[in-house]
Amino acid sequence: MLLPLHETAIRISHLSKTFHKTRPGLSFRESVARGFRSVPDASFLALDDINLDIRRGEVLGIIGKNGSGKSTLLRLLSGIAKPTEGRIEIYGSVASILDIGAGFHPDLSGRENIFLRGQLVGISKKEIQERFEEIVDFSGIGDFIDTPVKYYSDGMFLRLAFSLMIHLKADIILLDEVLGVGDFAFQQKCFAKIQEIAKSGATVVCVSHNPMELLEICTFYMHLENGKVKEYAAQPAILLDYLQQSQQDSDTTKKNGQEEKTEKQWPDKSTAPGNELFCFQSLRLFSEKTPADNIFFADQDITLEIVFEKLTDEDHLDIAFTISDIFRHEIMACSSHRVHQFFQTTHRGLYRAHCILPANWLNQGNFHINLYTLRNRKEVVYSWREALHFSLQFRTGFDHTSADLVNAPAPLAPALHWELEVL
């Protein structure tokens, strides 16, 4: 159903985009080099007959697996790429951040890049001067505004690019996997600004792998799958469908014999993970009763056990860990690393450390344990991302809460104590 034009920010009609795995045409010299042999034209459809009207003032979140066509769609909307078939109608000015640091000259300072990019998109030098202090203030990098941007971190690039973009007063803003780069405080400031921009009538289109990020800021959702629109609506249940599909894909991988074990051992010290200070001997996740396929029940305590050898007599060593959600791509929990409360020795030797992940804490899903070793309670001397993998599920007939609630795209589903009184 087509929207009235006065309500429409973007109209997409029969949009398709084909990419070639090999170049469709060769130069005369290349043809001679190949002996005039034909080269098969392997191509694939990145987007397949997309039809969509995006409303003014809408914050649209696009979710989908790698290769689903999310970034391709944003590049077509921004004009960087051209469609193979179909048409895109844009009603208003467009600002985009599709790659961190894209469009910045590395040898110019942040100040010089603000004026350069502003003038490239048609803003006068006078207008930029009027907004300059506001741009810098929002970015929070005032101390580095006269530093060449080639020395900026990804987070500093994002701060400057996002701040500049939102102060260009564009009608349509396109964001491709960028808000996860900044620190938490800046992310929250960006989310609030996006909602403010949308209320003013501008349209925002965000691509992300993180359903929680989209749930916080979006009013509409779209699930892309194999270049096609699988779902498009204002219901956050679309995010739930995506997470459930990801879970099913993970379960299929396990059935094909590709799952990671919840126990690892290294009897040979020469092959064990570690460094000159220590090495692991074994890692293990276990519970009182572990179901098949190494899937734990959410209402069970899970024990993390780490056996490691300290190789020197100097320095205190402590073990810490974080738990990250595989599909949400974010840290769910962080250990308090209070091992030092009882681990006071600096002597070399073999040690076993264990802690309890409490029952009825995390929501069901698939998780990684990320391990870290700290020296003298302050310096991280070893980190190991995705050291162990584990899955949580609720028991069949689980009546802690409704199925729809526990399946919601939230990291925690604690069994909280309630009291009810009759008034």
What are the domain boundaries of the chain? 5-252, 263-395
Cα–Cα distance for residue pair 389/170, rounded to 1 Å: 43
Q: How many CB atoms lie within 10 A of CB 281?
A: 19
Burial of 373 (0-12, 13-18, 19+ CB in 10 A): buried
Q: What pLDDT, on the 0 to 100 scale, is given for residue 90?
A: 94
Name the residue with tokens 């179909």. Answer: 86
Q: What is the pLDDT of residues 11-22, one digit of tens each?
A: 999 999 998 765
Cα–Cα distance for residue pair 368/335, rounded to 1 Å: 13
Q: What is the pLDDT of residues 357-407, one digit of tens each?
A: 999 888 888 888 888 888 887 788 888 888 888 888 887 654 444 444 445
Q: In what order do the strands lie in the sheet with 59-63?
A: 94-97, 172-176, 203-207, 59-63, 220-225, 228-233
- Bridge partners of residue 308, in order along the sequence: 280, 351
5-252: CATH, from 3.40.720.10, 3.40.50.300, 3.20.20.70, 3.40.1160.10: 3.40.50.300
Q: What pLDDT, on the 0 to 100 scale, is given for residue 181?
A: 58
Q: What pLDDT, on the 0 to 100 scale, is given for residue 193?
A: 85
Cα–Cα distance for residue pair 355/369, rounded to 1 Å: 13
Q: What pLDDT, on the 0 to 100 scale, is given for residue 26?
A: 57
Distances, alpha carbon 364 to alpha carbons 14, 242, 392, in Å = 39, 14, 5
CA angle, 405 then 66 then 225, to 5°: 65
How far the first Cα of the chain sits from its last, in Å, is 50
Q: How many CB atoms lie within 10 A of CB 214?
A: 26
Asked if residue 409 lies in contact with residue 243, where contact means CB atoms within 8 angstroms, the answer is yes
| Domain 5-252 and domain 263-395 have a common topology | no
DSSP character string of 206-268: EE-S-HHHHHHH-SEEEEEETTEEEEEES-THHHHHHHHHHHHHHHHHHHTT-PPPSEEE--S
Asked if residue 268 lies in contact with residue 364, where contact means CB atoms within 8 angstroms, the answer is no
Asked if residue 388 lies in contact with residue 272, where contact means CB atoms within 8 angstroms, the answer is no
Cα–Cα distance for residue pair 276/382, rounded to 1 Å: 10
Class of domain 263-395: mainly beta
Q: Record the tokens describing residue 235, joined without a space.
A: 């219901």
Instruction: Read off the pTM.
Output: 0.61
Q: What pLDDT, on the 0 to 100 scale, is given for residue 400?
A: 45
Q: What pLDDT, on the 0 to 100 scale, is given for residue 32?
A: 56
Written as tens digits, the pLDDT of the chain (423 aa) is 678 888 899 999 999 999 876 555 556 565 555 555 555 556 788 999 999 999 999 999 998 888 889 989 999 998 888 999 999 999 988 888 776 666 788 899 999 999 988 777 677 888 888 889 999 998 888 999 999 988 888 778 888 888 888 887 789 999 887 766 566 677 778 888 888 888 888 999 998 877 777 887 888 999 999 999 998 988 877 887 787 676 666 555 555 544 456 789 998 888 899 888 889 999 999 988 765 566 888 888 999 999 999 998 878 888 888 888 776 556 677 776 555 555 566 788 999 988 889 998 888 888 888 888 888 877 888 888 888 888 888 876 544 444 444 456 667 788 888 888 999
